[in-house]
Structure formats: C-alpha cells, structure tokens
Amino acid sequence: MVRTKKEKTGSIYYDKKLKKFRCTYYAIDNDKLVETRKTKSFFTEQEAQDFLTSIECQKGNELYIKNNGIPLNKLIRSITTKKLKANTIKESQYTRVEYNIKNIEKSPISQKNVDDITSEEIQAFLNTLTNYSESTIKKITGLLSQAFSYSLNKGYITKNPMTDIIRPKSKKQEKIVRALTLEEQQKLTNYLMLVPRSNEPFKIAYLLQLYLGLRIGEVLALKTSDIDLYNNLIRVNKTLTIDKNNKIILGDTTKTYAGTREIPIPNFIRSEVISQIKSAENNKDKLLFVDTKNNYMNPQNANRQLKHILKAMNIAGISTHSLRHTYGTRCIEAGMRAVALQRLMGHTDISITLNTYTSVFNKYKENELEKVNQYYMDNDIVKNNLEKLVEDDIYFAKHYFDRRKRILQELFLVEQEALKQRIITLKEYNEKVTILKELSQKDNDNDYICNYEQTTNTIQNEYITGQIINMQKRKEKELEII
C-alpha cells in the first residue's frame, strides 16, 4: 500500500493522572485500510520508547499493514510455509508441525499480536503442556522460539520474551521400544518362514525389518531395482512418507541423509526375497509391496497386522519399529561395534546409536571389560599376587553390597597384602586391623567380623611361621661359616 500523506512518527508523554508513560502511534485499520491514531500505556519511558521504535520498524511491512499487527499463529504458519517452499522441511515434517501449531492455537496467546505477548503468558501456556510427551513440548517450544527470534530480527519486537523461558518437563512416562527376546524372535521367525505369502502380505516386510534393521517406511518403499542379487545387497534410498494433506506418497530420500545405505541379505531369507521380486513384476512403480488396489501399502496397517499375529503368540508390547530395534539389539549381543551398527541402522550420529541401545551396551560392556582385565593378567601387567585380591573382592561383593563395607573390605585386603610383602610389620598390621574391626563393628556385621578374625589369625600364623623359618636359615648359615 502506498501512502499519499507524510509518515506520522508518534510521540511519548507522561500521563500524571494515570501515572504512566503514554505512547501515541499510527497503524493501518484492517477494515477501513486507513491510518489511525492509537495510544498505549507503559510503566517506564524506556518501555514506551522501545515500543515506538518497534512500531517504526514495522512500518512498511506488508503483513503488518494488512493485519494491523502480527498474530502469533499466523506468523508461525507463515514461517512454516516459507520453509516448505524453500525445501528446508519435507511435507511429512510439515504435517507434524501442523499438529503442534494446532496445539499452540488452543491457547489464547496464539491470537494475540507478537508484540503484546509477555514471557509470563508464554511460560503459563507451556506449563499446561506437561501431560504431552517430552518431544511435543520440545517442538512447541521450538516453534515459539523461532517465531519470536524472527520477530526480533524483523523489528516486530524489541525484546525476545523467550529468553527467560524455562521449558517444562513432561509428566508422561517415556515410551520404551523393546526388542523381542530370543525365544520370541524364534517364534515369529518360524511363523513367517512357514506361512504362505498369499496368507501374509507383510511376511517379507517383517523379515527384512527383523534381519536387516530397516524402518517399515523404507521396506514398503523398496523397488525391484533396489535388490542387487548379484552382490547380495539391498540398497535403501527412499521411504514412504505423507504429504501436507496426510496422503501416503513415495519420498525421494530416506528419513535422514545417513539412511541411504547398502545392507547384505542374509542367506536364509534370500529365496523369500527372490520370490517377492518375481511377484512384483506388474506392481506400481515396480514396488516390492503394494496393496490389493496396486497402491502404496499403509505402514499403519503393517503395524496392526503384526500386533494381531503376535497376540496369537501371547507376545505383547511389540510394534514394527520393535523389529528394527530387535535387529540392532542382536547385533550388539553378537559383539558388533557401535560405529558399524550406526551405519547399518542409518543413524546420522553415533550418539543416537549409543543412546538408543544404552541398556544393551551396558549389559555387554562388563564382558568386554573382563577381556581387558584378563589381558592385563596374561601379559603380567598386573602382579600375579593380586589375583588373590581380585578373588577375595569377588567373594565379598557377592555377599556385601553396601558401599561402606566394600570400602572396609578393600582397605583390609590392602593391609593384608602389605604384610605379605613385608611392607609393614606384624605390629603395624595388628594396629590397622584393630581399627578396621572397630569400624566394621559399628555396622553390627558379626559374620564379617568373624571373617576378619579368621583371616587375621591365618595371616599372623603364616607370618610367625615365616619368621621362625628365616631364623633357622640364618642359624644354619652361621654354623656353615664357623
């Protein structure tokens, strides 16, 4: 809109009656499309000046002139649309963003102009989201941060209200994707290998997830040209996804850039894959999997069918994503390194692999540490006499889990070894053991004290016997000299 009159800049003055600073400014009336004079109150002159500056920055902005202000929800939608047109987000992402925008629009702040929204209002709104998942809260907070950062850069606001916002923590329990146990995996595999493909259309899809670790969208997007039987590989380079209208489409990339990968076909399912290729000759786009109408298969239908199959086997808590998770779990159990698993799973960062399979890695790290300990022993890096200490430590650890007792036990073993090595005298040893027994008595652990007494007596007897033998040897040497 081109103005025919001189720009009006507004002014600031102090209202003695209201005891506030007043800012007069000019804005475009949305209905009449004419410039009208408006007034707003502030507690300080600086606030009034900042507001007037922001108004002057907004002058000439097409969105502001049209709407006489910039409502938060319209700004968020505008930014999201720009990202979609710029191809920085995919249509499937747009659909997920739309879900979170609708959550924001449930709040009154979404209808307010961005320059009228306070940090207190934003915090109050976010605090109402604690019943949502941690992921949803994070994404909604991210959308708000983008909107206000954009507004600050464009001059719609002079201060970002998100700077002191605290993102609330979800009350919702995090959903854990579990893997099939070995027994459960065996049951499902036996069923899939025996059931005719005509009776189970997702048969090969499940096997590819279970033994190649593919996402269900990646499996259902496979074409016959993606199967390299000569090199016995499956090339993963795209996935089924949804557009902004929530319609299933064939994407031209995988979920992440790292998702493009080649995975070997296990020999025991090779014949099944070949059978699927032969049946797909007349399928739409040469896809391996299509529905009865020759359209893309719905991943949700695959998930529902899997649950139906597993219900008959009394297996619960498993989804199609669990099949992929099972593959990752078995790889770790077989000793595969995290960096290799990252590539097979198509994770963008190894931290995703480590975080996803933390419990599995923790379960098997003790075996790996034992290999290191054994290496120390085999190469005499650690003295052989420490083997007894390790054995004693294992014995005590099985019976005493309290940290205090473990510390006392370790101290006792140190003194015991020091006496054996003649680092301390028998007198010093008895003094230190007396102190340790007193500390142990405070825990009322009679069995532990008895063990102290028994071990102490044994050590003392060995020491005294050793001293007598040494004395005899010295006398024999003296006699030889005479």
Most confident among 204-218, 324-338, 380-394 (mean pLDDT) = 204-218
Determine the pLDDT at residue 385: 46
Whether 368 is covered by a domain: the verdict is no
Range with the poorest average pLDDT among 253-257, 265-269, 317-321, 381-385: 381-385
Range with the poorest average pLDDT among 93-102, 202-211, 424-433: 424-433
Q: Is the pLDDT of residue 243 over 50?
A: yes
Q: Is the pLDDT of residue 446 over 60?
A: no
Quick one: 144 and 58 in the same domain? Answer: no
pTM (whole model) above 0.85:
no
User: For position 136, which CATH number holds?
Assistant: 1.10.150
How far is the CA of 266 from the CAs of 24, 55, 182, 356, 437, in angstroms? 75, 66, 18, 24, 61
**How many Å apart are CA 77 and CA 346, to the nearest integer?**
31
Determine the pLDDT at residue 374: 64
Most confident among 91-100, 114-123, 395-404 (mean pLDDT) = 114-123
Determine the pLDDT at residue 396: 40
Determine the pLDDT at residue 447: 45
Distance from the first to the final alpha carbon of the chain: 125
Determine the pLDDT at residue 254: 63
Neighbours of 227 (CB within 10 A): 19
Q: Is the pLDDT of residue 41 over 50?
A: yes
Quick one: 396 and 432 in the same domain? Answer: yes
Among the candidates 136, 154, 172, a domain finishes at: 154
**Domain hosting residue 18, numbered range:** 11-67
The number of folded domains in the chain is 4
Determine the pLDDT at residue 387: 46
Quick one: 201 and 348 in the same domain? Answer: yes
Whether 176 is covered by a domain: the verdict is no
Q: For residues 117-129, give the mean pLDDT.
A: 94
197 pLDDT band (50/70/90 cuts)? Answer: confident
Pick 279 or 335 by higher pLDDT. 279
Range with the poorest average pLDDT among 163-167, 174-178, 214-218, 380-384: 380-384
Whether 366 is covered by a domain: the verdict is no
Pick 381 or 337 by higher pLDDT. 337
**How many Å apart are CA 346 and CA 329, to the nearest integer?**
15
Report residue 475 as tokens. Answer: 């006398």
pLDDT digit string, tens, across residues 343-356 = 777 766 656 666 56
Q: Is the pLDDT of residue 167 over 60?
A: yes
Q: What is the residue-averaged pLDDT of the chain? A: 76
Determine the pLDDT at residue 88: 80
Query: What share of the chain in percent tops pLDDT 90?
Result: 24
Quick one: 126 and 98 in the same domain? Answer: yes
Whether 169 is covered by a domain: the verdict is no
Quick one: 63 and 77 in the same domain? Answer: no
Whether 3 is covered by a domain: the verdict is no
Range with the poorest average pLDDT among 53-62, 119-128, 155-164, 417-426: 53-62
Quick one: 246 and 313 in the same domain? Answer: yes
Q: Please report where in the chains the tokens 């019976």 appear, as a residue.
A: 399
Most confident among 61-70, 103-112, 233-242 (mean pLDDT) = 103-112
Determine the pLDDT at residue 109: 92
User: For position 192, which CATH number holds?
Assistant: 1.10.443.10
Whether 263 is covered by a domain: the verdict is yes
Quick one: 62 and 77 in the same domain? Answer: no
Determine the pLDDT at residue 226: 92
Determine the pLDDT at residue 70: 80
Quick one: 189 and 334 in the same domain? Answer: yes
Pick 410 or 290 by higher pLDDT. 290
**How many Å apart are CA 272 and CA 197, to the nearest integer?**
9
Quick one: 217 and 129 in the same domain? Answer: no
Whether 476 is covered by a domain: the verdict is yes
Quick one: 200 and 58 in the same domain? Answer: no
400 pLDDT band (50/70/90 cuts)? Answer: very low
Residue 311: HSE in the Cβ half-sphere, 13 Å Cα cutoff: 6
Residues across the chain: 482
List, edge to edge, every strand of the sheet that includes 11-15. 11-15, 20-28, 35-42
Determine the pLDDT at residue 186: 92
370 pLDDT band (50/70/90 cuts)? Answer: low
Among the candidates 135, 154, 173, a domain finishes at: 154
Q: For residues 391-417, give the mean pLDDT.
A: 53
Range with the poorest average pLDDT among 5-19, 259-273, 337-351, 466-480: 466-480
pLDDT digit string, tens, across residues 74-115 = 888 888 888 887 888 777 777 788 889 999 999 999 988 888
Whether 324 is covered by a domain: the verdict is yes
Q: Is the pLDDT of residue 391 over 90?
A: no
Determine the pLDDT at residue 333: 74
pLDDT digit string, tens, across residues 292-331 = 888 999 999 999 999 999 999 999 999 998 898 888 888 8
394 pLDDT band (50/70/90 cuts)? Answer: very low
Among the candidates 154, 172, 206, a domain finishes at: 154
Quick one: 236 and 322 in the same domain? Answer: yes
Quick one: 300 and 419 in the same domain? Answer: no
Taken in order 239, 240, 246, 252, is the CA torsion positive or negative? positive
Taken in order 301, 304, 310, 316, is the CA torsion positive or negative? positive
How far is the CA of 441 from the CAs of 415, 437, 446, 447, 452, in angstroms? 18, 6, 7, 10, 11
Determine the pLDDT at residue 118: 93
Q: For residues 461-478, give the mean pLDDT.
A: 55
